[in-house]
Amino acid sequence: MRNVRHLLESKGSEVYSVAPDAPVVEAIRLMAQRGIGALVVLDGERLAGVVSERDYARKVVLQGRSSSSTLVQEIMTPDVVQVGLDDTVDRCMQLVTDRRLRHLPVVDGDRVIGVVSIGDLVKAVIEDQQEELDQLQRYIAG
């Protein structure tokens, strides 16, 4: 079974982040530029939260707030579920399913070293299942 370390090795571990005191419009611009749905919120090196397109839609757009005058810290999710390099894909899938999450920051000690998305996890599960099917087909044919 693959773990988070394997996922980051294949997808890369670049972390896109924003400061808690940045205006929301800055976070939305960065998400749009990078084609991603969430950013890690870092207060210096410390993980302060996660801000997502969902947070923006629900806490800015639907409430009629201004994205240039609203700060990231006002809409971010501060209590972040995080995982480590040795956590398995199965454990991560359980977390995103049970907690209805889409992004899991990967931490090593106090440092954020990557982010795993639900898409990354689904891709890994599909690849693992395909490998298992291929092995079974070789066994049956051979």
User: What is the pLDDT tens value at each position of the chain, 142 positions in all?
Assistant: 789 999 999 988 899 999 999 999 999 999 999 999 999 999 998 999 999 999 999 999 999 999 999 999 999 999 999 999 999 999 999 999 999 999 999 999 889 999 999 999 999 999 888 888 888 888 898 7
Rounded Cα distance between 39 and 16, Å, is: 6
pTM for this entry: 0.88
Helix and strand numbers (H, E) in the chain are 6, 5
Domains of the chain are 4-141 (3.10.580.10)
What is the amino acid identity at position 139? Y
Q: At 104, which helix (H) or strand (E)?
A: strand 103-108
